[in-house]
A and B are shown apart, each in its own frame.
Chain A
Amino acid sequence: MNPILADIYSTILPSAPYIIAAYALLWVALLVYVLVVFRGTKKAEAQLMLLEEAVADRAAKGE
C-alpha cells in the first residue's frame, strides 16, 4: 500500500477492538436486563400458580 493510503487507514485496525467492545457490551447489557426481567416474570408466575393451588385447596377443604 502506498504510504499516504497507509497513513489514511492507520487508525482503522487499532480502533476495531474498541468499536467491537462498545457494540458487544451494549447488546450484552440489554440482553442481561431482558433475562433478569424474564426470570423475574417466570418466578412471579410460578408463585401465582402455587397461590392459586393453595386457594383452591382451602376452598375444597372449606366445602
Chain B
Amino acid sequence: MSDKKLKLPEVGQWPDKLVAPALIAGAVLSTVGFLMAFFYVAPVGGATVNGAELIGDVMVSQKMLLSQKIFYFHMPVAITSFIALGFGCYYAVRFLMTKNQRFDTCSRICLEIALLFVALTMITGEMWTRFEWGVWWSWEPRLTTYLILMLIVIAYFVLRSSVDEPERRGTFAAVVTIIATIDVPICFMITRLIPSSIHPVVLREGGMSPEMGLCVGLCALGMLCVGFVLYRARFNQVRLTQRVEALKETLDDERA
C-alpha cells in the first residue's frame, strides 16, 4: 500500500477539534461523578450487625462500606485502560499492514496511556484490597490477569527500548500489543469464568443500583474524555519532536 493513499493521523485533524470539548467534559463529568459518589449514591452495606437502626428513611442492619466509594473511579480507569489498549491494537494492526511508522507512533502513545490507566487501576484497587481484604496483594484471578496485563505493557516498553531498527521495533511492538489486547477480554471475563468469592461481578443484572450505574457511567465517560485529551496532547508533543528531529537531520545533511 503506498503512503500517498494512506490517510495518516496528524496534528490538526478533526480529533484535535474535539480536545477542548473533551477536556471540559472530562473535568465536568469526573467532578460530577466524584460528588455523586459521595453525596448522592447511598453507601453499600457490608457485614450484618446485631440489630437495626433507622438512618434517613431506611432501616439499616449492615455496616456502611465507605471504602466502596473507590469503585466509582476504579472501574472507569480500568475501562479506559482497556479502550486505550484496543486503540493501540488497532494502530498496531495498521502498522503491520502498512509498515508506516506513524501508526507505530500512535500505537506507542495508546500503550503509554494504557499503562498510565493500568497503573491507576492498580493503585485504586490496592487501596480497596488493603482495607477490605486486609492485604496489599492477593493472587485472585482478576488481580492476577490484570497484573499479567500490566507486565505485558511494561515489557512492551522494555522491548521497544532494546531494538534500534525502527521497522523491527515496530513489528515486535505491534505483536506484543496484540498479545496484551488478547488479555483484555480474559481480564474482563475472568470473574465469570472462575467465580471468585472476593472480586465481585459488577456488570450484571442487579449488580448495581440505577444510581450506582449512573455514577459509574458519568465517571467512565469523564475518564474516557481525560484519556482522549491526554492521548492528543502526547501525540501533538511526539509529532512536534519528530518534526524537530527531521529538521535537524536535514540541516546536518545540508551542512555535510
Residues of A with Cβ closer than 8 Å to B? 2-5, 7-12, 14-16, 18-19, 21-23, 25-26, 29-30, 33-34, 37-38, 40-41, 44-45, 47-48, 51, 54-55, 58
Residue contact B53 to A37, C-beta cutoff 8 Å? no
Contacts of B46 in A (CB 8 A): 11
Majority SS at the chain A contact face: helix
Contacts of A16 in B (CB 8 A): 66
Residues of B with Cβ closer than 8 Å to A? 34, 46, 49-53, 55, 60, 62-67, 69-70, 73-74, 77, 116, 119-120, 123-124, 127-128, 130-131, 226, 230, 233-234, 236-237, 240-241, 243-244, 247-248, 251
- Known contacts A34-B230, A37-B230, A51 near B237 by CB under 8 Å: no
Residue contact B124 to A22, C-beta cutoff 8 Å? yes
Contacts of A38 in B (CB 8 A): 233
Q: How far is the CB of A35 from chain B (nearest CB, A)?
A: 11
A-B contact pairs, 29 of them (CB 8 A): A4-B50, A5-B53, A7-B50, A7-B51, A8-B55, A8-B60, A8-B64, A11-B66, A12-B64, A12-B66, A14-B131, A18-B127, A19-B69, A22-B73, A22-B74, A25-B120, A26-B77, A26-B123, A37-B233, A37-B234, A40-B237, A40-B241, A41-B236, A41-B237, A44-B244, A45-B240, A48-B247, A51-B244, A54-B251
* Bound complex: CA A3 to CA B251 (Å): 78
* Bound complex: CA A14 to CA B233 (Å): 39
Count A-B pairs with CB separation below 8 Å.
Answer: 108
Contacts of B50 in A (CB 8 A): 4, 7
Contacts of A9 in B (CB 8 A): 63-64
Looking across the interface, which residue of chain B has its beta carbon closest to that of A49?
B244
Looking across the interface, which residue of chain B has its beta carbon closest to that of A20?
B127
* Bound complex: CA A38 to CA B229 (Å): 12
Q: How far is the CB of A12 from chain B (nearest CB, A)?
A: 5
Looking across the interface, which residue of chain B has its beta carbon closest to that of A16?
B66
* Bound complex: CA A14 to CA B67 (Å): 9
